Structure 1
């Protein structure tokens, strides 16, 4: 969406808000002005509804491990937002989009939980995987730990269902995004890791993930709490 169209939509929304005023004359004038702007710029009611969808971006690497992509997706699902990745020259972002501030809340939850899982990952590498010599095997097993961690966190999040109207708007918004450059999944070549070790790494990750929490001390957390997230 162009900057000019965003400004016009903002003006129309402002006029529509004023049209709800108790001042009948002023309200009528505001509504008339909003309708005139919509006719002049060929803006439909659907355009106005789509303008209520907001985005919130978080910087990320060009290649992401599966557990990190899963964490972003699950935060979106839990808080009524959707997620995609978008490249900007040599940079990449995870983008959340949704209605009524849900994108911001999903991004907040993702950032908080990502910090926690990365901290747990570093600790796991220093303790349970300090004896693993091959770097690729160590990375793979740490990823398995994170997969278990994310799985445990998902079980603690409550999914918030969107209304049919919201779902339709989100689908329309996704279509207008067009072709997107997505983050590549990170692949790790490994050798000699037993199924027992993999299962143990995941199990330990789930145990650690059960301790994950979203702190209540900032505005984003307060908004998450209002939506009913229990972690």
Structure 2
């Protein structure tokens, strides 16, 4: 690889962020995301929420797209009523990231969804979510870990062929799969931990865990290779 591919990473938009003497609205992204892109051989480019109609122009400048983790997807996006343990919506971020996904699929730009990002990939393709499940985040604000097992013959299994203990922090999950999506890894309790599209529909992979919080670079390196 002579040139590092440009990988766009979606971001948070938060009010009341604090640094130094300031407390202001801020675009935020945990450093694990850009560092993972950099360690895997890419150039990280942050994509703050913007008008959805600008998504295609943004994606046209990218070699790959990462949809990052974050708040719960608004249940209205998949035709469900909000349940008591579902977090507050982030409508601007939902709209922007869904537009980025649509633009990337249309342009054939490789996409990796991480945690919320995987859930949003599922919603973008017409799927639904389980709004709460127990056992996948044990302590608030602390990443846990559990094993995930690849499904033989899938893209993910070709990247990570063995069962792997992964960093995890989520309380929602894929329910009905979006159109064309294939489950490619499971947790021990049967929760879908990775989804993908068949190769003929382009390079799209979602993982429910947080590779940016671990040392395994293989999933991000696979995106970088596809983007190259």
Q: TM-score, normalised by structure 1?
A: 0.26
Higher strand share: 2
TM-score normalised by structure 2 residue count: 0.26
Greater share of helix residues, 1 or 2? Answer: 1
